[in-house]
Amino acid sequence: MVQKSQGKPVKDSHVEVTHIVQPPDINSLGTIFGGRVMEWIDLAAAACAARHARRTCVTASMDAVHFISPIQLGEIVIVRAQINYTHKTSMEIGVRVDAENPLTGEHRHAVSAYLTFVAIDEQRRSISVPPILPKSREEKRRFEEGEERRAARLAWKQRRGKQSAS
């Protein structure tokens, strides 16, 4: 098992999954159900988290899901997930979904999302994860932005807790 102090490069846990949009995946407008895309996002992010932590990981949150462009029946969907930021037991995973027209090869950005996963042990308690080692300028930018998003999530959670208590 990897020790926390060792750290791991971002590329070691990168995931790319491809789907073809089928009739059961679409709504009455002929575009993919948002829930289907969210399912694919969650699965890719879970694989990414498990690769990084080498443990069972669970979804703690999915936030900032942005549907940018509709995805049509018959299009190819490419779901890419990578670790942006790690803390003690949690990992922020960024997911980008692109749609490809199979007849023209044109690609477009369709959806983006951020998810937080927590690694757990056999008793389902949170457990430490290895830190990531961002190397490129892009990886470092994602790490810094992930740290900011974590702080915002914690602040939101704290405000919500105070509202519940009143």
Locus of tokens 């007849």: 103
Q: Do residues 129 and 90 lie in contact, with contact meaning Cβ atoms separated by under 8 Å?
A: yes
1 lies in some domain:
no
In this prediction, residue 4 carries a pLDDT of 43
71 lies in some domain:
yes
28 lies in some domain:
yes
2 lies in some domain:
no
Looking at the structure of the chain, the number of domains it has is 1
6 lies in some domain:
no
Helices (runs of H) and strands (runs of E) counted in the chain = 2, 7
pTM value > 0.85: yes
In this prediction, residue 39 carries a pLDDT of 98
d(CA 22, CA 85): 34
- Residues spanned by the domain of 60: 11-165
Q: Using 50, 70 and 90 to split pLDDT, how confident is the model at 160?
A: confident
48 lies in some domain:
yes
Look up the CATH number of the domain holding residue 29.
3.10.129.10
Residue 110: both structure tokens together? 């369709």
pLDDT digit string, tens, across residues 6-33: 899 999 999 999 999 999 999 999 999 9
pLDDT digit string, tens, across residues 27-43: 999 999 999 999 999 99
Q: Using 50, 70 and 90 to split pLDDT, how confident is the model at 156?
A: confident
